[in-house]
Amino acid sequence: MAGRACAPTSYAKAVGALTRSLLAALAALLVLSTGAAGTAAPPRTDPSTTGKIADPPEWAEAWAARLSLEQRIGQLLIVGFDGLRPPGWLRSALRSGRLSGTVLFRGNIGSKGELRALSGSLREASHGGALISVDQEGGLVRRVPFAGPVRAQSEQGSAQRVKRIARANGRRLRQFGFNVNFAPVADVPAGRQSDIFPRAFSGPQSVVARKVVAALQGYREGRVAAAVKHFPGLGAAPRNTDDAAVVIHRSSRELRRIDLVPFAAAIAANVELIMVSHATYTGLDPDRIASQSRTVLQGVLRNELHYDGAVVTDALEARAALGSHSVERAAERSLVAGCDLLLMTRPSSYRPTFERVLSRALASPGVRRRVRESAARVLTLKRGLGLQLPRPGRQ
């Protein structure tokens, strides 16, 4: 792993393991006592070590095992659509359990009454089990014009104020039928030249961590799952991954000292959902974007930071995710690497992605195991939100 000059002795390994445990305990204690993450960097381990990744709860694994393979795959898929009403194919996919939920954009949102009718239709089709998500950060990214926050994260003030804003926003979003918000941004900008600067919380990593935790707590009180993004951090990205391939050249030490701090704090605060970025991080995995990297997802996020919740991709139609590949190929790579929810913004992406994952799962026991594990994590997320879980064979 980058940043290590030589193999440590057995004694050094033992000391290192003890230090990592103490740092993890300290991070959790700081969150519990102050709602903050403190200034300590997250524990540093070697992603190549074979630490036990926390499995989904036994009840969720048992529930997923009862579902058909098609239903398990459906639990991993979120897709957007056009217009103010859900099309027939989408309602049918929700009804049969072959789609987990949807993401709404400005073009889906008319009046308040129309939005309530839309979300009601989605709930009815899914028997009360749909993830209904939105990007509602505030400022530049605000899809629902009659919900907050109006101000961007950089202008939301102290952690206490961030929590109040998130709580009010969560309650408002829940009134309109949403149960997932792809916010807050947990990236630590490297300065005004950073593409994420206008959308991120202001301050150093310790301050950003406090505000991220405050936002999570506020949304939780508003009964909406927050998704911190964009792991492991886009603070040093000069471009948006929607528009271009992005390579971040920070060392593994810099990433752990700066970028991972807010995510470690969010994990200690039991964040429900983490969105992974499509950038390449040379300090972690120079060959694969984060959303397609086992080193990033299994090594750093699961083994090192001990996150056991659901992981959602950023939009799979992003240029950085596609490269020279199709959406369905990007989705397959993300699933195999360790993502649980595959986010597609275009309705045309749904069918080829479903069919690609189904084909690979039928051919590969390893892919079938990944599908089952991810489905169990999504079921855990849904139960935490009070949603109905899919029934085997329900049409």
Residue by residue, DSSP assigns 49-96 as S-PPPPPPPHHHHHHHHHS-HHHHHHTTEEE--SSSS--HHHHHHHHT
Dist CA 37 CA 208 (whole Å): 9
- Measured between its terminal Cα atoms, the distance across the chain in Å is 49
Per the CB < 8 A criterion, the answer to whether 281 and 250 are in contact is: yes
pTM: 0.87
Spans in the chain with pLDDT lower than 50: 1-53, 395
pLDDT at 323: 82
pLDDT at 54: 63
Closest to 327 (Cα-Cα) out of 71, 73, 69, 79: 79
Q: How many of the other CB atoms lie within 10 Å of CB of 366?
A: 11
Q: What are 227's two structure tokens?
A: 């998704």
Per the CB < 8 A criterion, the answer to whether 260 and 10 are in contact is: no
Closest to 42 (Cα-Cα) out of 284, 294, 373: 284
Per the CB < 8 A criterion, the answer to whether 100 and 340 are in contact is: no
Looking at domain 17-42+59-384, its CATH superfamily turns out to be Glycoside hydrolase, family 3, N-terminal domain (3.20.20.300)
Closest to 393 (Cα-Cα) out of 63, 61, 71: 71
pLDDT at 394: 53
Per the CB < 8 A criterion, the answer to whether 243 and 279 are in contact is: no
Per the CB < 8 A criterion, the answer to whether 297 and 337 are in contact is: yes
Per the CB < 8 A criterion, the answer to whether 185 and 199 are in contact is: yes
